[in-house]
Amino acid sequence: MLGNTSKLHIVRAGSDITYSSLKVIGNQILDAFRGTIQEFQLTRHKAPVVDSIDAYFLTKILDQEYGGHVLGITDADLKTKDADAFYNCIFGGKNPHNDVAVVSTKKLCTDRIDSNKAYKLFLDRTLKVSLHEVGHNLGLTDHAAYQTAQDGTLCPMSRGEYNKFGYIGYIRAIIDGRGTNFCDECEYFLQKMHGRRHRWTRLVKDGLESTIGIKRLRRGA
């Protein structure tokens, strides 16, 4: 279900992340989806503090209250109805009936966040899970294999073998391995479905324009 996805509502449901940090994450999302997502708006969801919440229920609440293209970030565990204990608590999810995705920061840092380095790692992981879920909002699908972008990092849509590593192993092997650049397959999809220009094409074009500009300056043009 793809409505107007050019504006992203980033809704904080919890207190783990400051607004300034959410703004940084929002700008990085804009950069990763440039040409597709044009702007974002930060909002705080006023809700009781809970340790866990049903992921589907949360997406329904956010859709009713905000509507449109929404990314909810919560510090509560996101629960599902999966019988497997490993799968009934997720890092993030997307409601297939609307354009709402949610991310849980609960398990993204297993140690105490007591240093700038630990907080930076926490934000980096939050960003990478967010890119994955927003990608689903835009119609991108999971890569079961370890698909890489042109810079060698894992595509944000890489999911890998979820149950192979356990939570901590999965974070280190998959989430930490993801970058902010999409693989050629995802870039092609975003270009065809949303009119987005390929990042690498843009870099090459900018480089050529710079070269042409320098030559013109030398010629006095």
Domain ranges of the chain: 7-219
Q: How far apart are CA 217 and CA 22, in angstroms?
A: 42
Contacts for 168 with CB less than 8 Å, ≥ 6 apart? 110
For residue 197, what pLDDT is reported?
Answer: 61
Q: Is the Cβ–Cβ distance between 134 and 101 less than 8 Å?
A: yes
For residue 221, what pLDDT is reported?
Answer: 43
Q: How far apart are CA 85 and CA 130, in angstroms?
A: 23
Residue bearing the bigger pLDDT, 116 or 215: 116
For residue 114, what pLDDT is reported?
Answer: 81
pLDDT in tens, 142-182: 998 889 999 999 999 999 876 677 888 889 999 999 999 99
The fraction of the chain above a pLDDT of 70, given in percent, is 84
For residue 120, what pLDDT is reported?
Answer: 93
Q: Is the Cβ–Cβ distance between 138 and 36 less than 8 Å?
A: yes
Q: Which residues pair with 102 in a beta bridge?
A: 72, 93
CATH architecture of the domain with range 7-219: 3-Layer(aba) Sandwich (3.40)
pLDDT in tens, 38-87: 999 999 988 777 889 999 999 999 999 999 999 999 999 999 887 666 56
**Region 117-127: what's the mean pLDDT?**
94
The fraction of the chain above a pLDDT of 90, given in percent, is 59
> Residue 217 pLDDT > 50, yes or no?
no
Backbone φ/ψ region at 20: left (φ over 0), alpha (ψ -120 to 50), beta:
alpha
Half-sphere exposure of 100 (CA within 13 A, CB side): 20
Band the pLDDT of 89: cuts 50, 70, 90.
Answer: confident
> Residue 220 pLDDT > 60, yes or no?
no
For residue 79, what pLDDT is reported?
Answer: 92
The pTM of this model reads 0.85
Q: Is the Cβ–Cβ distance between 94 and 152 less than 8 Å?
A: no
> Residue 123 pLDDT > 80, yes or no?
yes
| Sheet order of strands, 77-79 included | 52-54, 77-79, 89-90
